[in-house]
Amino acid sequence: MAGHSKWANIQHRKGRQDAVRAKLFSKFSKEITVAAKMGDPDPDKNPRLRLAIKEAKSQSMPKDNIERAIKKAIGGDGDNYEEIRYEGYGPNGVAVIVEAMTDNRNRTASNVRSTFTKNGGNLGETGSVAFMFERKGEIVYPASVGDADTVMMAAIEAGAEDVESSDEGHVVYCADSDLGEVSAALEEVLGESDSTKLVWKPGNTTELDLDAMRSLMKLVDALEDDDDVQRVTTNFEASDEVMAQL
């Protein structure tokens, strides 16, 4: 899982760029609006909305943006989006899962397929790579909250399944259906997390060298640049040397 975590760090650094940040906020707004339309607009009564807001706040999305997205749903102004998952292979056989929200399935499918083709990948059928991943809840804490043993004990008490600790911080995993409950329990002990969300956790990874990593990042960047794409997950693995050169 080291490679997956490092990719998250790369994405975090990219997120500091204004243009990327604006696009990120747009994706959060869409998720918040859809979550509010599908359930209750009160986050205390809507777990999906609560998690969407928490993730948006973790990336410093302004409160006004969040409230505007919820009001869109309440007023019925939000577009009717359909959630779609695409699966395929990137350069060097890396598994790729693309999660999208769209008001035009044909447009999104065409764009995603074209992006895969232009960047050395192949779009597959539903289920072609999902078996390599597990749907999990992921809660991220900074290293400053405590040592690995402290976080592990808190995670066990909260009902989590696993913890991965490093100098960069702690990543707690739990069953996807338990994310809200585990997150709330951890917050009482460790405080607010840096990130709380549902993820696709790779069961196995594909090792990449520097050239292959650059090719993969080109594909992922192109996919994430699509307004219909909410998030992209891969199962790459790369050495510290390769990551340092990137």
Q: What is the predicted pLDDT for the residue at 166?
A: 92
For 193-233, what is the HEC assignment?
CCEEEEEEEECCCEECCHHHHHHHHHHHHHHHCCCCEEEEE
Q: What is the predicted pLDDT for the residue at 82?
A: 87
Contacting residues for 28 by C-beta, under 8 A, at least 6 apart: 52, 55, 56, 59, 61, 65, 66, 69
What's the whole-number average pLDDT of the chain?
A: 88
- Asked whether the predicted pLDDT for residue 8 surpasses 60, the reply is no
- Asked whether the predicted pLDDT for residue 15 surpasses 80, the reply is no
CA 87, CA 12: separation in Å to the nearest integer?
A: 23
* CATH, domain 82-131+205-245, list 3.40.50.970, 3.50.50.60, 3.40.50.180, 3.30.70.980: 3.30.70.980
Q: What's the mean pLDDT in 50-78?
A: 86
Q: Parallel, antiparallel, or unpaired for β 206-207 and 236-237?
A: parallel
- Asked whether the predicted pLDDT for residue 104 surpasses 90, the reply is yes
Residues 2-74: name the CATH superfamily.
Integrase, N-terminal zinc-binding domain (1.10.10.200)
Comparing CA positions, the residue from 171, 121, 123, 124 lying closest to residue 4 is 171
pLDDT, tens only, 17-31: 667 788 889 899 999
Q: What's the mean pLDDT in 222-245?
A: 90
Q: Which CATH architecture has domain 133-202?
A: 2-Layer Sandwich (3.30)
Q: What is the predicted pLDDT for the residue at 201?
A: 94
Comparing CA positions, the residue from 131, 132, 133, 126 lying closest to residue 112 is 126
Domain with CATH 1.10.10.200 in the chain: 2-74
Q: What is the predicted pLDDT for the residue at 45?
A: 87
DSSP E strand boundaries for the chain:
82-89, 95-102, 122-123, 133-142, 162-166, 169-175, 195-202, 206-207, 229-234, 236-237
- Asked whether the predicted pLDDT for residue 63 surpasses 80, the reply is yes
71 token code pair: 């009001």
CA 94, CA 219: separation in Å to the nearest integer?
A: 11
Q: What is the predicted pLDDT for the residue at 240?
A: 82
Contact 159, 149 (CB under 8 A): no
Domain with CATH 3.30.70.980 in the chain: 82-131+205-245, 133-202
Q: What is the predicted pLDDT for the residue at 232?
A: 95
- Asked whether the predicted pLDDT for residue 191 surpasses 70, the reply is yes
pLDDT, tens only, 135-180: 999 999 999 999 999 999 999 999 999 999 999 999 999 999 999 8
Read off the pTM. 0.81
- The single-letter code of the amino acid at 68 is R
Number of other residues whose CB lies within 10 A of the CB of residue 209: 13
Comparing CA positions, the residue from 39, 2, 6, 7 lying closest to residue 232 is 7
Q: Exposed (0-12), middle (13-18) or buried (19+): which is 175, by Cβ within 10 Å?
A: middle
In order of 18, 43, 70, 161, 184, the CA distances from 190 in angstroms are 31, 22, 29, 17, 10
Q: What is the predicted pLDDT for the residue at 123?
A: 96
**Angle, alpha carbons 109-79-113 (nearest 5°):** 10
Place of tokens 């808190």: 154
Q: What is the predicted pLDDT for the residue at 225?
A: 92
Q: What is the predicted pLDDT for the residue at 108?
A: 96
pLDDT, tens only, 43-55: 888 888 988 998 8
136 token code pair: 């999990």
